Amino acid sequence: MTMKGSIAALAALTVASAAHGKVTSPEPESVVVVLAHPDDELLMAPAIAALAREGRFVSIVHATPGDEGPGVSGMEKGAALAAVRRAEAQCAGKALGATEVANLEFGDGTLADHARGGSLAEALALRIGEAAIVLTWGPDGGYGHADHRMISAVASQIVQAMAPEARPRLLYVGIPAGSLPPVPDMAGWATTDPALLSETIPYTPADLAAAKAAAMCHETQFDTATREGMMALFDATMWRGKVHFRPAF
């Protein structure tokens, strides 16, 4: 991917900061997507597909299997639901071209407890490893979800402690103010001043199709009509050809 305008391409996400003395390749080998639950990847799905299509090693890491979130499935909360959602996550990762999809197996809704004990940071640090780019939720957690906010905070904690020469680019996905889809379910979602969303990952129609295929995997979470129309709606409103991110540092 080549430079396009104001840091619109992937190469721009990996340019070294001279002030920090960081030396990196202009084309990263590894991207780690750090999320709380299966289906969280949908907010940046075509960007993930674009990164994978460009040949990057893309790892999607979910902290929990989503065992407390039956969505529209009617399933009981617990182990059986977790198993189905793990399978949905694998399905979505395959659709997006991810190299691997991993789950840290913390209980849904328990991330704050594990953050206090340090076990979440320890497990996540092993996954972040030597990544060139880390993508995650912003501090808002999308709509204030506690687990989303916690995974963002712990990822930030890990990256800010790393030495400059080893520190990956940490990018928070964001929705530009004024671009929320006009649907009641998203009325309470947080938006970001577009001036802060200084980095983007553009995507192709094929990447958007991959994102739709990923959405179709999450049968427990959304009805068929929602899954079929979600990516087109996001493309027409908050994305418009590129997924927006805010640099953490």
Q: Is residue 185 part of a domain?
A: yes
Rounded Cα distance between 93 and 52, Å, is 10
Q: Is residue 64 part of a domain?
A: yes
Q: What is the mean pLDDT of residues 83-91?
A: 99
Q: Is residue 22 part of a domain?
A: no
Boundaries of domain holding 176: 29-247
Query: What residue type is assigned to position 221 of the chain?
Result: Q
Domain count, the chain: 1
CATH number of the domain encompassing residue 172: 3.40.50.10320
Q: What is the mean pLDDT of residues 48-59?
A: 98
Q: Is residue 54 part of a domain?
A: yes
Report in angstroms the alpha-carbon separations of 171 from 13, 34, 174, 204, 227.
9, 10, 9, 21, 26
Q: Is residue 17 part of a domain?
A: no
Q: Give the confidence band of 27 by pLDDT, cuts at 50, 70, 90.
A: low
pLDDT in tens, 151-182: 999 999 999 999 999 999 999 999 999 999 99
pLDDT of 24 above 80: no
Query: What residue type is assigned to position 236 of the chain?
Result: A
SS (H, E, C) the chain: CCCCCCCCCHHHHCCCCHHHCCCCCCCCCEEEEEECCCCHHHHHHHHHHHHHHCCCEEEEEECCCCCCCCCCCCCCCCHHHHHHHHHHHHHHHHHHCCCEEEECCCCCCCHHHHHHHCHHHHHHHHHHCCCCEEEECCCCHHHHCHHHHHHHHHHHHHHHCCCCCCCCEEEEECCECCCCCCCHHHCCCCCECHHHCCEEEECCHHHHHHHHHHHHHCCCCCCHHHHHHHHHHHHHHHHCCEEEEEECC
pLDDT in tens, 111-147: 999 998 899 999 999 999 999 999 999 999 999 999 9
Q: Give the confidence band of 240 by pLDDT, cuts at 50, 70, 90.
A: very high
pLDDT of 74 above 80: yes
Q: Is residue 150 part of a domain?
A: yes
Report pLDDT for 144.
96
Question: Half-sphere exposure (CA, 13 Å, Cβ side) for 240?
Answer: 8
Residue whose C-alpha is closest to residue 206's, from 27, 5, 52, 8: 52
Residues of the chain above pLDDT 90, percent: 87
Q: Is residue 14 part of a domain?
A: no
Question: Half-sphere exposure (CA, 13 Å, Cβ side) for 97?
Answer: 20
Q: Is residue 93 part of a domain?
A: yes
Q: Provide the whole-model pTM.
A: 0.89
